[in-house]
Amino acid sequence: MVKCFPECKEKEIEHLIKKYKARNKELDKKISDLSQQLQGCQKNVMSSGRTEFSHSPIIYMVTPTHTHSEQKANLVRLSHTLLHVKNIHWIVVEDSVSKTVLVSKFLQNSGVKNTHLAALTPHEIKMKYNDPTWLKPKGVLQRNAALQWIRENVKPNRDGGVVYFADDDNTYSLEIFQEMRNTKKVTVWPVGLVGGLRYEKPVVKDGKVTGWFTYWKPNRPFPMDMAGFAVNVNLFFKFPDARFSNEVPRGFLESTILEQLNVKMEDLEPRAENCSKVLVWHTRTEKTKLKNEQLMIKQHGQGSDTNIEV
């Protein structure tokens, strides 16, 4: 056995250090190469995403809203859905003489591209707090204000797009926005929890709408909920006088606007797997009972701090 002297061990250690440094240099080069490849892939993905985004038709989503205790909660919930939807322009129209601070601040911080408008409903046709929801047409002047903005600001031949009328307390699957994205004229689909039924829907046969599954006034021209259709934006330019009206009978808002756009049954484009899937629900936010506010004032001299935004 050869005895190894200290100088022998020192040379062996130096050799190992050189080998280690060479290996580290090789690994550093591999890491650098992989990092460059990763950056290239990220650029390709971002470029692809921008291309898809730019060629994806815009959805102009019109949402009427009014001042009430649950307003901000409704808008927050809806905005969190819209944050996941590409190429959407949210047109929020307040039933007010002017835009309120609450909604203005909310929209500024929502992260969703939006336009904020105001259109006041006259007192004589405005619903009272305790009126049943079906008593009078709602959101009429607000939707018309949004249509006016679209006609004044959208270039249909350049921008294209789809118009969807979406109440702030409904529930929307992300899928429904993809279903309406490429609307040629008018797309339709089922709506859940509406009309006293589990759902209402167009009846589809061989890819065409042939009738309606609904109980209430089934003989209406288009017996469906506002959340159950989307319209190609070009139709609102082709028929510039088409608008909603407070003068229509109960339940005829949808039918009236579609008739003004000269839509026929054969024009309807069924979506959601030939109207076999529910992707939007006509949910309603319960009115909050705030009777204890008055009791707090009576017993303690003050209620909630009105400076705290709810």
Q: What residue ranges do the domains of the chain occupy?
A: 56-281
- C-alpha span between 273 and 68 (Å, rounded): 37
| CB-based contact 142:95 (threshold 8 Å) | yes
Query: For residue 41, what pLDDT is reported?
Result: 60
* Token couple for 49: 């995403």
pLDDT value at position 52?
46
Which stretches in the chain have pLDDT values below 50? Answer: 2, 45-52
Strand order in the sheet with 88-94: 114-118, 88-94, 59-65, 162-165, 229-232, 186-188, 268-270
H or E stretch covering 188: strand 186-188
User: Tokens in use for 253?
Assistant: 């808002």
pLDDT of 105 reads: 98
Binding residues: 169
pLDDT at 116: 98
Architecture in CATH for domain 56-281: Alpha-Beta Complex (3.90)
Q: In this predicted structure, what is the pLDDT of residue 8?
A: 63
Per-residue model confidence as pLDDT tens digits over 258-280? 999 999 999 999 999 999 999 99
The reported pLDDT for the residue numbered 30 is 75
Q: List Cβ neighbours of 66 (8 Å cut-off, separation of 6 or more).
A: 94, 95, 96
Total residues found in the chain within this entry: 310
Task: Assess whether 254 carries a catalytic annotation.
Answer: yes
Q: What is the pLDDT of residue 35?
A: 65
The pLDDT score that the predictor gives to residue 134 is: 66
Say what the pLDDT of residue 18 is.
79
Quote the pLDDT of residue 182: 96
Q: Would you state the pLDDT for residue 12?
A: 74
> Looking at 94, 200, 254, 269, which residue is catalytic?
254
Residue 32's pLDDT is what?
72
| Per-residue pLDDT, 76 | 98
Q: Binding site for Mn(2+), residues?
A: 169
Query: How confident is the model at residue 163, as a pLDDT?
Result: 98
Residue with tokens 């009328």: 165
pLDDT at 50: 40
For residue range 43-65, list pLDDT tens digits in order.
554 444 444 455 799 999 999 99
pLDDT at position 46: 43
